Structure 1
Amino acid sequence: MPTLEGRFMSLIYKALLALSRGAGNAAFPLSTRRAKECGKALSACFLLLPAALVQADDARTQLDAAAQRQVAAELKISARKAGWNGMTFTLNNNLPNSLAKLAPCPGEPQLRLLEAPSAPTARRRFEASCAGQPGWPVTFTSQPTLYLPTVVASGEIERGQTLEAAQLKLAPVELGKSARGYFTDIAEVAGKTARRRIRAEQPLTPALLDGTLLVRRGQQVKIVASQDGIQASAVGEALANGKQDEVIRVKNLRSQKVIEAKVSASGEVSSLF
């Protein structure tokens, strides 16, 4: 026995055949108006299609929206725990083709996570149910892509150059592509030196940078000397840049003697002798 869909498609075919033979006033069942042209006839045809065909995308739209809400709630918690300020994401749902024949859920589909994701960026596998409705439950997967504002170079930075805040900016970077680490605060990066040339828009990672310069060449520094519990200090001039615990040459401005000293703090060195 022909299906309901088949009978409707047969009616559509017969009507269009009649139109092609010059019967421009062919009418369709359930319609009291006669079609005068093919455009009107086609409109009537689609009005007669079964509701399941007209609403083929409704179940898909419902599941897309339900997954978006659930994943957003999960990622909000993850972002708060990790301190990811300004995190955004996109979600790609791999929905089954069978949804084209599935009547939409009268209420909101209920999602159940089939396995806990190993990381916020991991794929989720859901089971969607709709109580009392044929064709449900439905399983599908969702793949989120996370973006986080991280520090990138606003222009080219040469090797050995000390980074300044004006050379840096925040830009969204995909977290899955940040395996080498990242910075989320410009203040963390300003003052460090580039180990190699850095391209414009390139995300900055710890491997690209040396420690922050605590002492700069030509800067006046405090020279601290201690022996047997007695401490003395003098004013000196750094003859080289220095990071934490690096040994640099420093000139004592009072005696004009050049000594070697270890960088101990910002603007401060400790005499080695």
Structure 2
Amino acid sequence: MSLIYKALCAISGGARNAALPLWAHPAGGCGKVLSACFLLALAALGHAQEQAQDARAQLDAAAQRMIAAELKGTAQKEGWKGMTFRVENNLPNSLGKLPACPSDPQLRSSEAPATPSARRRFEANCPGQPGWPVYFTSQPTLYLPAVVAGGEIERGQTLEAGQLKLAPQQIGKSARTYFTRVEDVVGMTARRRIRADQPLTPALLDGALLVRRGQQVKIVASQDGIQASAAGEALANGKQDEVIRVKNLRSQKVIEAKVMESGVVSSLF
């Protein structure tokens, strides 16, 4: 730096500032020339930093757009309502030396993600520009409103709407099914004790009771194309396709019948 300073002083001492018309009088020293060079160096450094920030911002925005479009399609396919997400991009340090791409970088995923929340690996290209392609990873985190227990639910208890609520849950990398609508869970029974705020999954629940003990039901029978029905009383709880004992209220005869739908059973011959 001292050699550059001396050279600038020698130049300024023997010549007028013809190359720098900001000064009309002979330079009394090297200070003004050095200040001008320092400002030019700062401007160049600022430009380089701006380019690096632009390249980093370009890649971040491109990955955000690509993953957002992908997750939107997944949400529509799966019927997810109210899904939210965030994306963290792990960009390389070499971006500090990378000029910005004149157009939007072209991103290509190295492989299809196994799950919506799996890490993505990208190759970013900017045709004709030095320093490209760039390789980096992106990690999305997904949240989905899911049905959770509003309070403790005992084993064997039938779920009612007042016991349930929706709360955002992070969708993990492993496949796991959540209920996203309260009405899909109402009427099911708990296989085991469920804690307050615990997300409900199919593993925790049994199918809804379609027939309850003591309930009046419709008994239907079909044989040789002839159908008949009679009123009956369920002698046990029953879920879809379960066989329970039912009493025919007209004949008082107890028969076995298969649960077909809510309040309807089919007699077995």
Letter in 2 for 1:126: F
Taking a change above 3 Å as real, the CA distance of residues 114 and 271 of structure 1, as seen in their structure-2 partners, is closer
Amino acid at match of 1:109: P
Secondary structure at 2:151 match in 1: coil
Q: Who is 2:240 aligned against?
A: 244
Task: Decide whether aligned partners of structure 1 residues 144 and 48 sit closer, same or farther in structure 2, where only a CA change above 3 A counts.
Answer: same
Q: 1:228 Cα shift?
A: 5.5
CA drift of 1:111 comes to: 2.0
Letter aligned with residue 82 of structure 2: G
For residue 51 of structure 1, the aligned residue among 8, 24, 46 is 46
- 2:141 is matched with 145
For 1:118-157, list aligned pairs within 5 A: 118-157=114-153
1:194-245 per-residue CA deviation (whole Å, 9 max, x = no partner) reads: 1111122222221111111110122111123455655443222223211122
- TM-score by structure 1 length? 0.73
Alpha carbons of structure 1 residues 100 and 265: separation in structure 2 relative to 1, 3 Å: same
CA positional deviation for 1:52: 4.9
Of 54-63 and 198-207, deviating more is 54-63
Give the 3 Å change call, closer, same or farther, for CA 116–226 of structure 1 in structure 2.
closer
CA contact (8 A) 1:150 1:172 kept: yes
Q: Which moved more, 1:53-62 or 1:215-224?
A: 53-62
Of the three residues 245, 256, 261, the one matched with 1:260 is 256
TM-score (norm 2): 0.74
Letter in 1 for 2:118: A
Q: Take 2:117 and 2:164, find their aligned partners in 1: how far apart are those partners?
A: 26
How many aligned positions are there? 239
Specify the code of the residue in structure 1 equivalent to 2:146.
Answer: T
CA deviation after TM superposition for structure 1 residue 174, in Å = 2.6
Matches within 5 A, 1:17-36: 29-30=35-36
1:39 corresponds in structure 2 to: none
Superposed counterparts of 1:8-19, under 5 Å: none
One-letter amino acid matched to 2:45: P
For residues 51 and 131 of structure 1, the distance between their equivalents in structure 2, rounded to whole angstroms, comes to 25
Aligned to 1:68, what secondary structure does the other structure show? helix
Consecutive unaligned residues in structure 2, runs of 5 or more:
5-30
For residue 111 of structure 1, the aligned residue among 107, 114, 119 is 107
Structure 2 CA distance for aligned equivalents of residues 172 and 244 of structure 1:
31
Counterpart in 2 of 1:179?
Answer: 175
Please give the secondary structure, in 2, of the residue aligned with 1:245. Answer: coil
Counterpart check, 1:101 vs 2:65: no
Structure 1 residues 179 and 107 mapped into 2: Cα distance closer, same or farther (>3 Å)?
closer
Per-residue displacement from partner, 1:100-133 (whole Å, max 9, x unpaired)? 3333334432323333334433322222233444
Question: 1:41 — aligned with what?
Answer: none
1: CA distance, partners of 2:202 / 2:78: 18
What is the DSSP-based 3-state SS (H/G/I as helix, E as strand, rest coil) of the residue aligned with 2:138? strand
Structure 1 residue 48 displacement after superposition: 5.9
CA distance in 2, matches of 1:181, 1:248: 30
Is the CA contact 1:165–1:190 (under 8 Å) kept in the aligned structure 2?
yes
Separation in 2 of the partners of 1:116 and 1:223? Answer: 52
Matched, 1:170 2:166: yes
The one-letter code of the counterpart of 1:51 is G
Contact 1:180–1:206 at 8 Å: present in 2 too? no
